[in-house]
Amino acid sequence: MALNPRLRDWQGKTAWLIGASTGIGAATAHGLHGAGARVVVSARQAALLDAFVAAHPGSRALPLDVMDLPALHAAAADLGPVDLCVYCAGYYRPMSALQFDLAEARRHLDINFQGALNLLDAVLPGQLAAGRGHLSLVSSVAGYRGLPKALAYGPSKAALTHLAEALYLDLHPQGLGVSVIHPGFVKTPMTAQNDFHMPAAIAPEEAARAMLAGWAAGDFEIHFPKRFTRFMKALRQLPNRLYFPLVSKANR
């Protein structure tokens, strides 16, 4: 059963992606442009956004930092209500409690969660007034349960998932769509810093195709690649007495 209005025909529709300079965001912007959407890309790296616009006629770049609330408000006012708004800004550095870094932990929360709240402050009033639009938050399977080396990243993504669920309950009755994206390992500049084998790692283009398919199906949760994410979902169901020894053993 579709939990959201199905987003299938992109002709004449506007998609705004925040965090679209590289990785999943850039690949998804490319996919939406190919499907016929008017694509607007935002991130801090203006040169990369300009390169995207040069390669994708009809698209637009709005450089900004997600922690700059006035810039987000100005961009949202400029664009007006959009058909799809995707928060794919993200930050990741491996961290364990043995090397805890408060500044790094706060940076994860700022970019992965606070930035999403800033975006909501900028776009929600317009979408509620218009009675249309779809918000999509890119979380991670790292937010399902506690994982090694994810002391800062995992909690920030878990908060984003919880936020999406609460938003759905509030906004679905108002006619707005809400979805949460749970990628497994995707080969991006962010995951390139990992020093361990990434099971079932996929290219950003495959991630983008899964996201467009999920929006077309009206899904609330879009997760991929399923050969990996279904395993992670199964781990969520394990009692703690089984989960902790199993994950600890796999991390040795």
The whole-number pLDDT of residue 176 equals 98
The whole-number pLDDT of residue 121 equals 98
pLDDT tier at 196, thresholds 50, 70, 90:
low
91 occurs within a structural domain: yes
Domain that holds residue 97: 14-250
Low-confidence winner among 16-20, 188-192, 222-226, 229-233 (lowest mean pLDDT): 188-192
4 occurs within a structural domain: no
Rg (Cα) of the chain, in Å, rounded?
Answer: 18
The whole-number pLDDT of residue 185 equals 77
- Calculate mean pLDDT across residues 221-248: 95
Of residues 68 and 197, more confidence is placed in: 68
Cα separation values, 56 from 29, 37, 100, Å? 9, 11, 42
Q: Which residues are designated catalytic?
A: 153
Quote the percentage of the chain above a pLDDT of 70. 98
First to last CA, the chain: 41
93 occurs within a structural domain: yes
Dihedral (CA of 164, 243, 94, 105) sign: positive
- Calculate mean pLDDT across residues 146-162: 96
- Calculate mean pLDDT across residues 213-220: 98
CATH number assigned to the domain comprising residue 211: 3.40.50.720
Total tally of structural domains belonging to the chain: 1
55 occurs within a structural domain: yes
With contact defined as beta carbons under 8 Å apart, do 73 and 65 qualify?
no
State the Cα–Cα distance between residues 119 and 117, nearest whole angstrom: 5
Of residues 250 and 94, more confidence is placed in: 94
- Calculate mean pLDDT across residues 182-194: 79
7 occurs within a structural domain: no
pLDDT tier at 221, thresholds 50, 70, 90:
very high
Phi, psi (5° rounding) for residue 221? -100, 130
185 occurs within a structural domain: yes
8 occurs within a structural domain: no
1 occurs within a structural domain: no
With contact defined as beta carbons under 8 Å apart, do 185 and 198 qualify?
yes
pLDDT tier at 1, thresholds 50, 70, 90:
confident
- Calculate mean pLDDT across residues 4-15: 96
For residue 9, the number of C-alpha atoms closer than 13 Å in the C-beta half-sphere is: 2
State the Cα–Cα distance between residues 45 and 26, nearest whole angstrom: 12
Segment 105-129, tens digit of pLDDT: 999 999 999 999 999 999 999 999 9
- Calculate mean pLDDT across residues 50-70: 98
